[in-house]
Chain A
Amino acid sequence: MKTRINLFRRKPQQDYISVHASQIKRTLTTAGVVLFLLFIFLITQVLRLDSQQQELLKKKETYLKYLMDEKEAEVNVRYFKSKQTQMNAFLKNDANFLPYYSVLKKSLDEGVAKPILDTIDIDKDRKTTFIVRFSSYAEMDLFLKYIESEDFLKNFSSLSLQSFSINKQTVTGNRFELELKGVFKELK
């Protein structure tokens, strides 16, 4: 049997590119479109950011010019605030004597017994020691009852009787002495 070769017959394409040409073209076109859209998006963003940057630079220039012109005013404000902060901090060390003294004086005057406030000592932690004097034992007794009342104690977070003494050298006047020690409640 004779074997014949047909030289005009085309052989089927065997390479991958030729076989999948249409699929590759489709993929490349899709990728191209996506990249192009991405490119358009990026270019608009870059242009937007560029105009925003120019605007911000102008604003920065305006601010800097004003701040340079008003440099002294700014230093003055900083100085003011710094000194005022120092002042407020230092004022916290103050014993704030007057309001606590007034509170005690008012409380003593409100009682039935009217003692003489002989000595008073108040420090910055509101700790106080005071001595009151009486002309008679009856007055002192009244006062002792009064200091146990809520009206008197409302001003103190603690209060205790330290000592009691009689000045025998003073025949007339305020012979009876009470020394009290305590801590004032902080005034609002």
Chain B
Amino acid sequence: MKFFSLYKIKRILSDQWSIFVSFGVLIVLLGIVFIFYSQFNRQKKEVELLQGEIAMLGDRFNTLKYNKTLTQDQIKDYNKLLASLIPETEDFFSIIYALEAISNASGFKISDYSIDITATTKERLTLTANGKGDTNAFLKFLQEYQFVGGRLVTTDKIVYRGEKNATDTKITLNFYSKRFSFNETVRVPQLTKEEIQRLQAIKNKIQFQFSSAVYQSIDTSYQPKQDPFSKSE
């Protein structure tokens, strides 16, 4: 026995055509909804990604605007000062100049010095210096030595021989040099008023001609490589 005869199918189709048409329309509608749903999802992801990018760019934009207002376009001068305090590579002439400048500014005479090879590292050059001067000169030296020579100087240890024996003061002096590495992925830092004021105070301390400083504005007109491993690009 035939379960579905052709006659029966034809009769169902002719009697219930509206159901079949509705079903067809429903399938088409379902397809359209699915297409729009996937487009909605894709667009939502794109907008979210874009919002993240905008937030990052907006942050860079605002920070840069704020920094520009804060430094009043004097940032190049501050950078020259910082490049002088911590040069990119070690410069022995500036060390000699700094020692001379510290002596002159404080009246505390650095009579001789030697490089301490064991304490010296790639970023730090350590000198052991002997100084002469009365208590006032020594105190002035202590107030000034960090910046007055135009180089950043720190001291690990001072052995001061007191008021009665002002000729025998032993000081360990550290001079620093370090390269600046540009990393665009790191968030642009926001400067603070305190930082600028501090640097301005250091700048006022130093009797230093910036024209002689090595600092030059960083060249940003480089062409990024498409393939970082290719030699010809």
Contact = CB atoms under 8 A, between A and B. Distances in A.
Interface of A: 15, 17-18, 21, 24-25, 28-29, 31-32, 35-36, 38-39, 42-43, 45-46, 49-50, 52-53, 56-57, 59-60, 63-64, 66-67, 70-84, 86-87, 90-91, 93-95, 97-98, 101, 116-124, 131
Contacts of B124: 90
A98 B46 contact: no
B157 A123 contact: yes
Interface of B: 8, 12, 15-16, 18-19, 22-23, 25-26, 29-30, 32-33, 36-37, 39-40, 43-44, 46-47, 50-51, 53-54, 57-58, 60-61, 63-64, 67-68, 71, 75-76, 78-79, 82-83, 85-86, 124, 139, 142-143, 146, 152, 154-165, 174, 176, 178, 180-183, 186, 188-189, 191, 195, 199, 217-218, 220
Nearest to A83: B82
A72 B220 contact: yes
Contact of B64 (A31, A73, A81, A121): A73
B96 to A, nearest CB: 20
A117 B30 CA distance: 95
B36 A46 contact: yes
Given A36-B29, A72-B217, A87-B152, A15 B8 contact: yes
9 nearest A-B residue pairs (beta carbon): A83-B82, A94-B154, A98-B142, A63-B57, A42-B36, A81-B189, A49-B43, A123-B157, A121-B159
A79 B218 contact: yes
B157 A39 contact: no
A133 B8 CA distance: 126
A66 B61 contact: yes
16 contacts: A17-B12, A17-B16, A42-B33, A42-B37, A42-B40, A46-B39, A46-B40, A52-B47, A77-B63, A79-B218, A80-B75, A90-B124, A93-B154, A93-B156, A94-B155, A101-B142
